[in-house]
Homo-oligomer: A and B are copies of this chain.
Amino acid sequence: MPEEEPTTSPALPRRKVFTSLAATAAVAGTAGVFAGQALAQPAVAGPEPTVPFHGEHQPGIAMPQQKHAVFVAFQLLPKDMRTGKELTEKQVAAKLAALLEDWTATAEALMRGADPQPLASHTKSHFATEAIAEGLNPARLTITLGMGPWAFRMAGLADRAPRHLTELPDFPGDQLNPGWSGGDLLLQICGDDPQVISEAFLSMRARVMGTCQLKWTQQGFLSTPKGATPRNLMGHKDGTANPGFDSPEFAETVWSKKDEPEWFSGGSYLIFRKIRMRLPEWSLATADKQNRSIGRHRDTGAGLGAETETAELDLDAKDGKGKPVIPIDAHVRRVKDVPMFRRSFNYDYGFLTQKELQQDDHATGTDGHSHDKHPYDAGLLFTAYVADPANFIEAQDKMSESDALNEFVINTGSAIFAVPPGVSEGQSWARGLFG
């Protein structure tokens, strides 16, 4: 009865291990480790699309954006699952350290297209892996870890927390849904293949049992035209002002400052904002209204009054009547010179509430464009990497006060995470934090 014998773990062939020049460089020594990140860009065009896991910085930041992302937030469990007893800070810390060890090994394997170690709770009667991505290549899969302010407190690590890690304040106008805000741990999982991302998500999630629980997930996508800046669902280019990966400005903008704890050197902060766009209303606005709301020409991406996308914005320019060429409340005024690296993704979740549409909706005769009862949830998963969240907070305050875009967008999600530095081979995400 061979067909009744369980297919045991060893019977499962390991997936082909993909390698890349970049990965090879990354393990070639200290210089190589650093080069690993720098080489992430060339790896894109290559035939074996893996991104190196090891390096001075975590993967999934200083590299061209992949086509898909899922942001996954977890919350640490304050009690023991079995006894129901409150955990001490030391116990939380021990669980967290073990999870970070396990996650590091799992993420590293997944990123190079290998099977992660079977779960400790699995027996030989279980499949070793999920098999969802069997036969698919990693397609630039990256897994990036973030840690929220609460995680450091719960684990008794407040004194080791990155210096600029602070809860984001409530900004005026925010309509935050806790269902996609906050979180103690974050995984940013990016790649060009959503099915590979799904397997990575399930594999990483399975590891958290007993230590944390899933709080929220948000999925986005982004298509980058050849040699051009990608566009958001408003049709506008997004990320024009980003510093180039190789520029000193990038390092200054993104990587941790000198005043941080030593273990955090090479780290960053991730700011996540879910921004719902009122797309039908936007589509009904005139071209002029759209361009003046942003402060740029939609089609070229050039600032108003400028000819090219990359030309410096002239905020002082006046028209013949003495009025500012770039309107006083244009979006670009609020964000100009704010040091941040934007790595946002578009999203489209359909109807927000997923609630039952009543049968009598069939008889309401409402306009197909108006769905206040059932808001349509599409827009931008705004993601910025910064060396200092204070700059973002200041800019967001200005935007919330007066920004022409506010008529067309609603901030419905908000979260901040410290992004630990990358690790070398043999090290784990727990290393720096737990000394």
Q: Of all chain B residues, which has the CB nearest A68? A: B194
Interface assignment of A349: CB less than 8 Å from any CB of chain B: yes
A351-B231 CB under 8 A given contacts A223-B196, A365-B84: no
A125-B346 CB under 8 A given contacts A135-B226, A210-B368: no
A209 to chain B, nearest CB (A): 5
A138-167 to B contact mask, C-beta < 8 Å, 1/0:
000000000000000000000000000000
A202 to chain B, nearest CB (A): 6
Question: Within the complex, which residue of B134, B179, B209, B297 is in contact with A354, where a contact is CB–CB below 8 Å?
Answer: B179
A247-280 to B contact mask, C-beta < 8 Å, 1/0:
0000000000000000000000000000000011
Decide: A369 and B209 in contact? CB cutoff 8 A. yes
Interface assignment of A225: CB less than 8 Å from any CB of chain B: yes
Decide: A319 and B4 in contact? CB cutoff 8 A. yes
A219-B79 CB under 8 A given contacts A127-B235, A210-B368, A366-B213: no
Decide: B355 and A179 in contact? CB cutoff 8 A. yes
A132-B291 CB under 8 A given contacts A3-B304, A198-B348, A368-B205: no
Q: Of all chain B residues, which has the CB nearest A362? A: B75
Interface assignment of A405: CB less than 8 Å from any CB of chain B: no
Interface residues on A, range: 35 or more
Q: Among the listed stretches A7-15, A331-339, A387-395, A426-434, which one makes contact with chain B, having 4 or more residues with CB under 8 Å of it?
A: A7-15
Please report the C-alpha to C-alpha distance between residue A218 and residue B177 in the assembled complex, in whole angstroms. Answer: 22
Question: Within the complex, which residue of B1, B70, B78 is in contact with A325, where a contact is CB–CB below 8 Å?
Answer: B1
Decide: A287 and B6 in contact? CB cutoff 8 A. yes
Decide: B356 and A298 in contact? CB cutoff 8 A. no
Decide: A206 and B283 in contact? CB cutoff 8 A. yes
Most buried by B among A205, A215, A354: A354
Contacts of A67 in B (CB 8 A): 194
Please report the C-alpha to C-alpha distance between residue A1 and residue B11 in the assembled complex, in whole angstroms. Answer: 72
Most buried by B among A3, A178, A195, A210: A3
Interface assignment of A299: CB less than 8 Å from any CB of chain B: yes
Contacts of A126 in B (CB 8 A): 284-287
Decide: B6 and A351 in contact? CB cutoff 8 A. no
A344-374 to B contact mask, C-beta < 8 Å, 1/0:
0010111111111101011111111101000
Interface assignment of A40: CB less than 8 Å from any CB of chain B: no
Interface assignment of A97: CB less than 8 Å from any CB of chain B: no
Decide: B75 and A361 in contact? CB cutoff 8 A. yes
Most buried by B among A75, A131, A349: A131
Interface assignment of A208: CB less than 8 Å from any CB of chain B: yes
Decide: B214 and A376 in contact? CB cutoff 8 A. yes
Decide: A125 and B288 in contact? CB cutoff 8 A. yes
Please report the C-alpha to C-alpha distance between residue A223 and residue B68 in the assembled complex, in whole angstroms. Answer: 13
A368-B135 CB under 8 A given contacts A6-B288, A130-B283, A350-B218: no
Decide: A288 and B348 in contact? CB cutoff 8 A. no
Please report the C-alpha to C-alpha distance between residue A318 and residue B291 in the assembled complex, in whole angstroms. Answer: 72
Contacts of A130 in B (CB 8 A): 235, 283
Decide: B368 and A286 in contact? CB cutoff 8 A. no
Interface assignment of A170: CB less than 8 Å from any CB of chain B: no
Interface assignment of A222: CB less than 8 Å from any CB of chain B: yes
Interface assignment of A217: CB less than 8 Å from any CB of chain B: yes
Decide: A81 and B366 in contact? CB cutoff 8 A. yes
Please report the C-alpha to C-alpha distance between residue A226 and residue B193 in the assembled complex, in whole angstroms. Answer: 14
A78 to chain B, nearest CB (A): 6
A231-B299 CB under 8 A given contacts A4-B288, A214-B368, A368-B74: no
Question: Within the complex, which residue of B127, B131, B217 is in contact with A350, where a contact is CB–CB below 8 Å?
Answer: B217
Interface assignment of A66: CB less than 8 Å from any CB of chain B: no
Please report the C-alpha to C-alpha distance between residue A327 and residue B378 in the assembled complex, in whole angstroms. Answer: 45
A14 to chain B, nearest CB (A): 12
| 13 sampled A-B residue pairs with Cβ under 8 A | A1-B321, A79-B365, A123-B286, A125-B286, A126-B287, A130-B235, A131-B299, A134-B225, A195-B223, A206-B369, A209-B368, A214-B351, A214-B368
